[in-house]
Structure 1
Amino acid sequence: MKRFIYLFTFILSFQQVFAQTAPPASVANIEQDLKKLNVLGSVLYVAAHPDDENTRLLAYLAQERHYRTGYLSLTRGDGGQNLIGTEQAELLGAIRTQELLAARRMDGAEQFFSRANDFGFSKGPDETLKIWDREKVLSDVVWVIRNFRPDVMICRFPTTGEGGHGHHTSSAILAQEAFTAAADPSRFPEQLKYVKPWQVKRLLWNTFNFGSVNTTSDNQLKIDVGGYNSYLGKSYGEIAAESRSNHKTQGFGSARQRGQAFDYFKTILGDAPQNDIMDGVNTSWKRVNGGNEIEANLSIINKVFDPANPQLSVPALVRLLGMVEKVPDVYWRNQKAAQLKNLIAECAGLWFESYCTAPMYAKGDNVDVSTQMIVRSDAQVTLTSVSYKTDADKPDGHENLAANILKTVNSTFKATELTQPYWLKYPHGVAMYSTGYLDSIGDVAQKTLPQNIPPAMHVVFTIAGKPISYDVPVQYKYVDPARGEIYQPLIIAPALTANIVNKDYIYNSQQSQTIQVKLKAFTKASGNISLKPIAGWKISPASIAYTDKNKGDEWTVNFTVSPADANPHVNVIEAVAEANGEKSSLGFQQIRYEHIPTITLFPPAQAKLVNIDLKTAGKKIGYIAGAGDLVPEALQQVGYEVHELTENEVLNDDLSKYDAIITGVRAYNVSQRLVFEQPKLMDYVKNGGNLVVQYNNNVGVLVHPGPYPFTVVNQRVTNEDAVVTFTEPASPLLNYPNKITKKDFDGWIQERGLYFVSNIDATYHTPLLMNDPNEAPNKGSLITADYGKGRFVYTSLAFFRELPAGVPGAYRLFVNLLSNPKK
């Protein structure tokens, strides 16, 4: 039973303990934390995606009202678009996870997720909840409620559909169901080994006024959340803008708001509040046994607190910690004990961190760690022990820490677990991340948390006569010449990783291709590398040996692969890396952006082999970059020469040398220079060129992309299997150089297309019709028109998803868009 009690305690205290190295120690932080210590209330905000949350309200609840405040995003935003890079799907979800954590560091709330995968836009909750495993997502929401124990829950969206996106409405439906289920011991009883049922006081809907949709009204409860926090030197509107501006992949940089601002609330379940969302909830220490004495002592500490000498409050805070540790309510005991420990360190001027000496280690290797600490006051602090596991504490002796003298303790522990993001540890489908991570008690502990529980050193100090422990995450620290001191997560990798160079290999004959595999050693190793045999393919050689590679070595090996027959087929090929007698099939990938920590993943060492009947016409392609996509790399796979055009080349070079020019996704949204380049592009078409414009959204198109009028609208076909009708079977787009049939629309992923066009000038041809269930056929996915001697094509089809995924028919159709038959 001890292990379950420990796990429950660990889950409750994780957010505070692992939020940083040492807590910030400014007087403003200390006084804010003293106020928070006196508040026993919690609020959980629930929505569907990164960016759905009301950051101003979260900041107000966390920093003004001092409630424990959390945001549960059902998904990690995997299905959206990326305005700053080419990452899609789970890679984009990993980035948005870190963007949300950066946002929470600014607004003061905590972050949680369910296992639901953002599979893309959904037009209603029926579709969403059919694709998601409704019961499993509900169980995750219940798990968060039972762990977090909110007094009040708040939904961003209603169940009636005003939120638009099916995921939005589903988040409200699941929140309502979880409100009841979390209190029912017969629902998800397997959770009760670790947590107890919990009844939330009320569920509110945070109504909104977005564009043309206004769900607020004068008879709703309203709260002014536009106040100013003198400790932070910012209004909650300013904090919210800084928080929201971390959503860089979505282009959500926000202006700081100042002055009065109201949020409105409608009661969905539970008692309706009259004056405040916490009506009827005791948020003082009186809600727990023994709280009166704690409250009285805390009042005295606040009165005598000396901002010039915070260390004078340390003895009283340590005594208060002893009182708090006797509180019978386990939840509030752990919450307030964790807060008090941080507050004691802040007041004592006690700083500490643990860092490893190298950025990466192999599983099974020893990790060398330096734990540093310093007391920047005259508070009496003694170092008692430093160890890797709490169950392995061995006193190192007692050493008084001299004021303002840095102390370093060197330690070693064995790396036992890869630092792969836990939700990507196992293969997953379109709708949900795998439940495989629930197999071990350690994985249960991090379930619904935003990221892995990091390796940590357990450091025990004796402060004012009382042993007080801190779990200090082990990080890697280095100095960048331009950015200064940088902290990054510790990376524990396989002994050897194998990256197949391309994601897809496209074949249109039995001619062989060279498949390169890049290897990276994370420890000294010998072994071999091979590609798993696949029926219908020839692979040579069977394996390639290597010897005496050292940590950090990288090299490349080549295999020759060809189809065994001419029949079209698609297979997945996998690299197997053997190192020192152990095999693995994992690659190595890092995602680097300055606004978030480096993300390190070990994806499957796989690629797709696509043998298709593909004819090409033309060779040279000019590409104008947009928000970011992998279409150029996909075209290079089928033999095109792709050159990314600069503005100077568009304006001054002879563009007639290009068989086609393509604009990247959302180019007309993000490139302010296209307004100057557009006349030259139209001249290129008029003189015989072929311009293919990929989708743009309907907000902020800076210049009209075509020779004749049309309007980009927020219409899409989200069913990737939607029936496609050919309205102009003789269209060159459907016949040259590849004869397009209905089979070419098989196997598409996530959606058919997005931001279709409407109000289409009669000059355009519209060769395709498609629609989602119960909707009228839509002709706006693909339009084309002759202009002068050339051709203009605009497509809202999701080629930016389909080509990197190796969808055969998408290649055949996109090649046709690039191939204008000679007249």
Structure 2
Amino acid sequence: MKRIHLIAVFLFATVLSKAQTNPPTDLGTIQQNLKKLDVLGSVLYVAAHPDDENTRLLAYLAQEKHYRTGYLSLTRGDGGQNLIGNEQSELLGLIRTQELLAARRIDGAEQFFTRANDFGFSKGPEETLKIWDKEKVLGDVVWVIRKFRPDVIICRFPTTGEGGHGHHTSSAILAQEAFTAAADPNRYPEQLQYVKPWQAKRLMWNTFNFGSTNTTAADQFKIDVGVYNTTLGKGYGEIAAESRSNHKTQGFGSAKQRGESYEFFKTILGDAPQNDLMDGVNTTWKRVKDGEAISTLIGVINRNFISEAPEKSLPALVQLLMKVEKVPDTYWREQKTKELNNLIAACAGLWFEAYATEPTYALGDKMSLREQVINRFNYKVKINSVINADNTLNLNSKVLPTNQLQTFEDNMVASKLTQPYWLAAPHPIGVYTLPDNTLAGNPENPDLPKVTFQFIVEGKPINIDRRILYKYVDPVRGEVYQPIEITPPVTANIDNKDYIFSTQQAQTVLINLKSFTKASGTISLKPAAGWKISPEKIDFTNKDKNDEWSVAFTVTPTEGKTKTTDLEAVVNANGKPFSLSLRRIRYDHVPAITLFPPAQTKLVYLDLKNNGKKIGYIAGAGDQMPEALRQVGYEVHMLTENEVMNGDLSGYDAIVTGVRAYNVNDRLAYQQPKLMEYVKNGGNLVVQYNNNNGIVVKQIGPYPFTVVNRRVTDENAEITVLDQQNPVLNYPNKITSDDFNGWIQERGLYYVSNIDPQYKAILQMHDKGEEPLNGSLIVGDYGKGRFVYTSLAFFRELPAGVPGAYRLFINLLSKPKATSGTN
């Protein structure tokens, strides 16, 4: 048995972080959990994205009715826009996953996901379900239902399309099919080695009144969810606002609402409720064998509970636990045992956690751990053992002294990368590739490192897990917890996402390496057809933990107009190959996020001509356009308000506004006259798309147009040229139909209409079955200059290295010297 180091220290005050490992143990939480013990009911809410959930209803069901409540978001919101940074796609999905988990910590529900990838706006369920691979995603919904066993399932959207978004409608279609499929042992039979078929009592649609769409009616079943919870000191409209305000990437900060508020429902499948959402469902202990005695004991515990001395309930709670452990219903036995274990720990005044002494460890290295426990009450509680994946600290039922923090030193091997499981393998556009189908539903990796504490309370062993985190003290934020990182021995980050070639001239590919353990080995680039790479490899020796260094390779096209090629870096460290980079995402409102994307870049050969070099850029909601423009040789300067208002803008060949700039930067209302003056004096202003809601100026351009919520979601939609001779299609690059090949996710969004005749509409396009739209790109001369407004999704295309999008956007930046006009 390994040696145990026991350190006793006095309790000291700390600043608690919302990511702390120890769950809340305040009196209100204890009382809420005591009430929940006596309720055996569950509700699953189903929708498509983060932010689709009805947080007020979730909070009401979880904390007023005390049902086990879950939200199944089919996607992680990967395809949306980011109002707080420049992360897109999977990176945005990671942030929104954590925003949802933060929301659930407030409203009391649980969070689940399928493997579906949010590929962007979809106009109908046919497209959505085809791209999502319907059978796989339906299987995930069935899996979650069979595991969660909801008595009632609630959809946010109908199957008839009033939700607008194809993903929304698809979520209702899948929920409706899964309602029946989950009960059918012939559907997804491979799941039945882990779970049993499950038939929910009913499927409801939570009707809504959004904007101009009102699907509620006075004769529908309804619930007042605006009630006040005296234990929590809040109404559910207040709790809902706190929960929803976690969706910061979407700008969904919400005002707290108070007072009566009704939610309306229509029955889709199953028996319609008459008086209560759970009509016909026994939500008491009578639903399990010999449950009445358990309910009676819970009643006694609640009546005798003393708020000033919760530990006095421990004998009865332990007696209750022993009864619950004998319940034959596996599902409710497991749920209520877990609830009771946590409740006993809270009533005993136990606080305990496990944390690593360093934030990062390489695969195979030994992690140094500290497990801390304190018994805050003068009650005889013993600690028997502390168990991790590799070691057991046998503490031999040591009595925990009152109010003295106990620290145990321990270790375990870092055995698995902390890579988000849904990003561990490449995936097609519509669904993530899961290493194991049973992982579906999990918001995070279920096998993240943990420690199990075993206490002895009233002679009864109580086992409770704690996830291992890293904690440190920040001078501003105080005590901070963050997930530990288990990394490859060495990561390789290629300096640029894309390398754009327009000639046969060689370029230098810089790779930034970081060692997370003592390492020696080589770094190389995999051979790529049509490209010469030199040198073949570069050695490194005796690198220590946290060493960082850079190496350079020369890459040269060898076959004229070489096709676009993925280039992969391979690190052979300590005899094992790795091709992973390191990406960290840090925002104060969510825990630290770390992932290990493939160590890849893209080599793109463009037939590209440039005009002008100096670009002024006004930041919007966050995009990667400045970096993309620098890749093709532009000098991009991020303009400040002072520079716009007081500087000389004439030196810029073009000024570009970032996506949604006129939505998120209210100072543009004051800068707009200066920008129009810049255009009038001969400048070239390129404005990227804005949302039609919340534009901060009355008129974005020199002449009127209206931003509308119209888009073309088919990235392969046919393009019709309306003004073939316009300079933006001819100078300095001749744009052809080939330049619209290979676009990703969509053609564009928030097109314009009511276009003043002094603008020229350049392109026309439409999704299948819809009328043509000509508001994706408009150009107007003003004074000596040119104004361009574009709703095309350049903010997605250029960072993805789409050749034709680069060529067209360069043309927008390149105003021919001859362009002139009048005001």
| TM-score of the two chains, using structure 1 as the length reference | 0.96
Q: 5 Å matches for 1:568-579?
A: 568-579=562-573
Report the identity percentage: 68
Distance change in 2, residues 1:19/1:682 (3 Å): closer
| 1:451 correspondence with 2:451 | no
Match of residue 746 from structure 1 = 741
Matching residue of 2:10: none
Match of 1:127 in 2: 127
1:647-658 alignment, distance < 5 Å: 647-658=641-652
Partner of 1:617: 611
User: In structure 2, what is the equivalent of residue 417 of structure 1?
Assistant: 416
Q: Which runs of 5+ in 1 are unaligned?
A: 1-17, 439-443
2:93 maps to what in 1?
Answer: 93
1:628 alignment partner in structure 2: 622
Q: 1:643 aligns with which of 614, 637, 643?
A: 637
Distance 2:503 2:19 in 1: 55
1:423, 1:437 within 8 Å by CA — same for their partners in 2?
no
Q: Provide the C-alpha distance between the structure 2 equivalents of 1:752 and 1:568, rounded to a whole number of angstroms.
A: 25
Q: In the TM superposition, what whole-angstrom CA distance separates every residue of 1:416-444 from its partner, at most 9, and x where no partner exists?
A: 11000000011111100003334xxxxx3
| 1: CA distance, partners of 2:103 / 2:348 | 28
- In structure 2, the residue matched to 1:664 is 658
For 2:443 and 2:51, locate their aligned partners in 1 and report how far apart those are by CA, in whole Å. 15
Paired residue type of 1:756: Y
SS in 1 for 2:416: coil
CA drift at 1:405: 1.0
The one-letter code sitting in structure 2 at the alignment partner of 1:109 is A
Post-superposition CA distance 1:257-282 (Å, at most 9, x none) = 01100000000000000011111111
Superposed, 1:402-413 pairs within 5 Å as 402-413=401-412
Matching of residue 139 in structure 1 with residue 134 in structure 2: no
Partner of 1:795: 790
SS, match of residue 238 in structure 1 = helix
SS at match of 1:396: strand
> How far has the Cα of 1:595 moved from its partner?
0.1
Q: Which residue of 1 aligns with 2:240?
A: 240
In the other structure, the counterpart of 1:346 is 346
Question: Contact conserved, 1:568 with 1:613, CA < 8 A, in 2?
Answer: no
Tell me the residue number matched to 1:70: 70
SS in structure 1 of the partner of residue 95 of structure 2: helix
C-alpha separation between the residues in 1 aligned to 2:625 and 2:393?
A: 57
Q: 1:11 matched to which residue of 2?
A: none
Amino acid at match of 2:594: T
1:431 aligns with 2:403: no
Q: Secondary structure at the match of 1:593?
A: coil
Listed one character per residue, the Cα deviations across residues 230-252 of structure 1 (whole Å, up to 9, x for unaligned) are 11111100110110010000010
Identify which of 757, 765, 768 aligns with 2:760. 765
2:219 matches 1:219: yes
**1:270 maps onto 2:270 in alignment:** yes
Q: Using the TM superposition, name which of 552-561 and 164-173 deviates more.
A: 552-561
Q: What is the aligned partner in structure 2 of residue 535 from structure 1?
A: 529
Distance 1:348 1:98 in 2: 31
Instruction: Give, as a single letter, the amino acid of the residue that structure 1 aligns with 2:427.
Output: H
Give the Cα separation in 1 of the matches to 2:478 and 2:233.
26
Specify the code of the residue in structure 2 equivalent to 1:82. N
CA RMSD of aligned residues (A): 1.1
Question: Corresponding residue for 1:608?
Answer: 602
Match of 1:114 in 2: 114
Q: 1:674, 1:604 → 2: CA distance? A: 39
Instruction: State the alpha-carbon separation in 2 of the partners of residues 642 and 258 from structure 1.
Output: 48
Instruction: Please list the CA deviations of residues 510-554 of structure 1 after superposition, one character each: whole Å capped at 9, or x if unmatched.
Output: 111111100011110000101111110011111110110001111
Tell me how far apart the structure 2 counterparts of residues 679 and 611 of structure 1 sit (CA, whole Å). Answer: 40
Corresponding residue for residue 337 of structure 2: 337
**Partner of residue 356, structure 1:** 356
Shift in Å at residue 389 of structure 1?
3.4
Deviation at 1:458, TM superposition (A): 1.4
2:450–2:468 Cα contact (<8 Å) kept:
yes
Match of residue 818, structure 1, among 809, 813, 817: 813
Which of 489, 493, 496 is 1:495 aligned to? Answer: 489
Kindly state the Cα deviation for residue 206 of structure 1 after the two structures are TM-superposed: 0.1
Counterpart in 1 of 2:702?
707
1:593 and 2:592 correspond: no
1:508–1:614 Cα contact (<8 Å) kept = yes
Letter of the structure 2 residue corresponding to residue 405 of structure 1:
Q
Question: CA–CA distance in 2 between the matches of 1:134 and 1:335?
Answer: 31
Verify the 8 A CA contact 1:111 1:450 in the aligned structure 2. yes
User: Does the aligned pair in 1 maintain the 2:708–2:753 contact within 8 Å?
Assistant: yes
User: Which residue type is aligned with residue 279 of structure 1?
Assistant: D
Paired residue type of 2:628: A
**SS of the residue aligned with 1:398?**
strand
Once the 2 structures are TM-superposed, how far is the Cα of residue 645 of structure 1 from its aligned partner? 0.4
2:456 maps to what in 1?
462
Letter in 2 for 1:415: A
Superposition deviation, residue 394 in structure 1: 6.7
Q: Which residue of 1 aligns with 2:501?
A: 507
Q: After superposing the two structures, state which structure 1 stretch, 152-161 or 532-541, moved more.
A: 532-541
Map 1:184-203 → 2, pairs under 5 A = 184-203=184-203
What is the letter of the counterpart of residue 265 of structure 2? F
Residue of 468, 473, 481 corresponding to 1:474: 468
Deviations 1:360-419 (A, max 9, x none): 0001111111110011112211110111139x7574322100111111111111111100
Alignment of 1:245-260 (within 5 A): 245-260=245-260
Partner-residue secondary structure (3-state), 1:448: coil
From 776, 783, 792, the equivalent of 2:771 is 776
1:297 aligns with 2:280: no
Structure 1 residue ranges, 4+ long, deviating more than 6 angstroms after superposition: none
How far did 1:21 drift? 2.7
- Secondary structure of the residue aligned to 2:436 is helix
The answer on whether the counterparts of 1:78 and 1:118 sit within 8 Å (CA) in structure 2 is: yes
Question: Kindly tell me: are residues 394 and 668 of structure 1, through their superposed partners in 2, closer, same or farther at Cα, counting changes over 3 Å?
Answer: closer
1:809 aligns with 2:808: no
Distance (whole Å) between structure 2 residues aligned to residue 356 and residue 662 of structure 1: 46
Aligned counterpart, 2:315: 315
Q: Match for residue 726 of structure 1? A: 721
Q: Please state whether the residue corresponding to 1:435 is helix, strand or coil.
A: coil
User: Which residue pairs with 2:13 in the alignment?
Assistant: none
Residue equivalent to 2:821: none
Give me the whole-angstrom Cα distance separating, in 2, the residues matched to 1:435 and 1:368: 31
Letter of the aligned partner of 2:256 in structure 1?
R
| Contact 1:712–1:756 (Cα < 8 Å) also in 2 | yes
TM-score (norm 2): 0.96
Aligned 8 A contact 2:493 2:512 in 1: yes
2:7 aligns with none
For this pair of structures, how many residues does the alignment match? 799
